[in-house]
Amino acid sequence: MFNEINLDEIDLTESPPSEEPRRQYYFMAKCRELVRKKKEELGRPLSFCIETFGCQMNARDSEKLRGILEEIGYIKSDSESSDFVIYNTCTVRENANLRVYGRLGYLHALKKKNPHMMIGLCGCMMQEPEVVEKLKKSYRFVNLIFGTHNIYKLAELVTEALEQDGMIVDIWKDTDQIVENLPIDRKYPFKSGVNIMFGCNNFCSYCIVPYVRGRERSRLPEEILEEIRRLVDDGVKEIMLLGQNVNSYGRNLAQPLSFAELLEQAAGIDGLERIRFMTSHPKDLSEELIEVMSRYPKICPHLHLPVQSGSTEILRQMNRRYTKESYLALVDRIRASIPDISLTTDIIVGFPGETEEDFMETMDVVEKVRYDSAFTFIYSKRTGTPAAAMDNQIPEEVVKDRFDRLLARVQEIAREQSSRFEGRTMDVLVEAVNEQDSSLVTGRLANNLVVHFPGDASMIGTILPVHLDCCKGFYYIGSTV
Ligand code: 5AD
Ligand code: SF4
């Protein structure tokens, strides 16, 4: 865990500093005192549990929240009967919201049994004003509500929540601040995400992300590279650079730098063995990036390239700013430079106005690209987005039928694609002992495919050549060579 400031050296008789991150270290020290006192009162340590919904960005945010809570003296737990439960929420589709409301009912029951319990909600869903109104009205037992822009303030917010009763709500509409160098508790010792940018400026017409994550802000390259170096010194082998649209990284920096340039500099870091990144918007994927990817074996041969739809007309309605033809041409250029590359995608079915012909265009792209895997989604109406106001919404049964046809074909192709490496020997980063069979370990190829092979816990975090004996659908059984 990275620690810039020693909490023992902070003088709590002084008033809190105003500059960050010093201010948060002050509150960590203060909060640690409050937690220590509570622990003495109860005669046991206080536990916490963070449930993460949604994407890689949220997963990384949760690692930051965990780092701060551990620094404060809470003990990590997987149980929702903990003293402090936080839901880090997602709101990209409506059922993500419904799940949170459902589970809040369950938490309320737990809280009635444990009066010391605190409940916190954060993440994208909290950036929606209607959600916060509903929580204030009908979920008064929630102690703390904060958003996506101020997670770094957790220590300050928890201090407040411990010092007073009632619901604390702190939501910012947007921010231009990026606060760095706070504690982080990584889920895996050997791999880590690294945020390179926050927010999104694309405003795809169906998507709520630009409203809840704010405008695009890129971190400084030297901060990113320094964080990667520190992680590598700490044993990390694989880094995933994270951003809503990594291909527009660096455009707004005082000294602009392209994503391809950043990636190349990261690839030059000694000791780092694998780099991946997520997500790439097809409209911004540069020739320079393809060229850099083809030159560095460390850069994983995998691109997540969401197509969303194969119909040029639907893409226009979605405000995606590419056509079916330009997307397919891009895929051809990528494959010509990086022949073995794994391509994955996101597809939405049932966008307003989607005809059977439009849907067949999507099926056609699936046939032509042959994705290694694809996340398929039923269009979900998000209040406040332009698509939600379109009057030609598609009936549920039509969407369901298209979705089933798409999913069947996508899975069939993914199975065929996955098996194309059978018989080869490829490097696997070992992640864990297999959950079903403890004589096996489980790891990932650079292209992200899962491999199970004989081994033990001592192999975790190492990269080993493995013979891919047999493909079982979406994973391999292998043997060490
Ligand atoms: N309905 C369905 N899927 C959506 N996505 C984003 N917004 C919506 C929506 N309103 C999907 C997109 C995106 C992925 C992260 O979630 O496919 O790439
Ligand atoms: Fe949403 Fe489009 Fe931004 Fe992705 S690029 S987060 S789909 S608005």
Annotated ligand binding at 200? The verdict is yes
Check pLDDT > 80 for residue 48.
Answer: yes
* pLDDT score for 43: 96
For residues 374 and 381, give the distance between their C-alpha atoms in angstroms, rounded to a whole number.
21
* pLDDT score for 3: 52
Check pLDDT > 50 for residue 337.
Answer: yes
Average of pLDDT values for 327-337? 98
Task: Give residue 378 CA to ligand 1 midpoint distance, Å.
Answer: 8
Length of the chain: 481
Check pLDDT > 70 for residue 2.
Answer: no
Residue of the nearest CA to atom 1 in ligand 2?
A: 207
For residues 52 and 165, give the distance between their C-alpha atoms in angstroms, rounded to a whole number.
25
* pLDDT score for 176: 87
Residue of the nearest CA to atom 2 in ligand 1?
A: 379
The per-residue pLDDT for range 260-305, each reduced to its tens digit, is 999 999 999 999 999 999 999 999 999 999 999 999 999 999 999 9
The per-residue pLDDT for range 430-446, each reduced to its tens digit, is 999 999 999 999 999 99
What stretch of H or E contains 480? Answer: strand 475-480
Q: Is 201 exposed, middle or buried (0-12, 13-18, 19+ CB in 10 A)?
A: middle
**Residue 306 CA, closest ligand 1 atom number:** 18
> Chain-centre distance of CA 125, in angstroms?
15
Task: Find out whether 394 and 352 touch, Cβ atoms under 8 Å.
Answer: yes
Our mutation pick for probing the ligand 1 site, out of 247, 348, 362, 407, counting the most ligand atoms within 8 A of Cβ, is 348
pTM: 0.95
Annotated ligand binding at 204? The verdict is yes
Instruction: Give, in order, the Cα–Cα distances in Å from 455 to each of 25, 119, 253, 462, 478.
Output: 42, 41, 46, 12, 11
Check pLDDT > 80 for residue 4.
Answer: no
- Number of helical H runs and strand E runs in the chain: 13, 19
Annotated ligand binding at 31? The verdict is no
137: tokens are 């009205």
The per-residue pLDDT for range 55-72, each reduced to its tens digit, is 999 999 999 999 999 999
Our mutation pick for probing the ligand 2 site, out of 57, 244, 280, 305, counting the most ligand atoms within 8 A of Cβ, is 244
- What is the bridge-based pairing of β-strands 450-454 and 373-378? unpaired
Q: Ligand 2 — pocket residues by CB below 6 A?
A: 200, 202-204, 207, 209-210, 244-245, 281
Angle between helices 396-418 and 356-369 (to 10 degrees): 10
Check pLDDT > 60 for residue 1.
Answer: no
Ligand with an atom nearest the CA of residue 198 = 2
Task: Find out whether 340 and 313 touch, Cβ atoms under 8 Å.
Answer: no
> Chain-centre distance of CA 162, in angstroms?
29
Average of pLDDT values for 52-57? 95
Check pLDDT > 70 for residue 335.
Answer: yes
For residues 467 and 480, give the distance between their C-alpha atoms in angstroms, rounded to a whole number.
6
List of domains in the chain: 19-168 (3.40.50.280), 189-417 (3.80.30.20), 422-478 (2.40.50.140)
The larger pLDDT score, comparing residue 481 to residue 352, is at 352
443: tokens are 């790891």
Annotated ligand binding at 124? The verdict is yes
**Residue 375 CA, closest ligand 1 atom number:** 17
Q: Ligand 1 — pocket residues by CB below 6 A?
A: 92-93, 206-207, 306, 308, 346, 348, 377, 379-380, 382
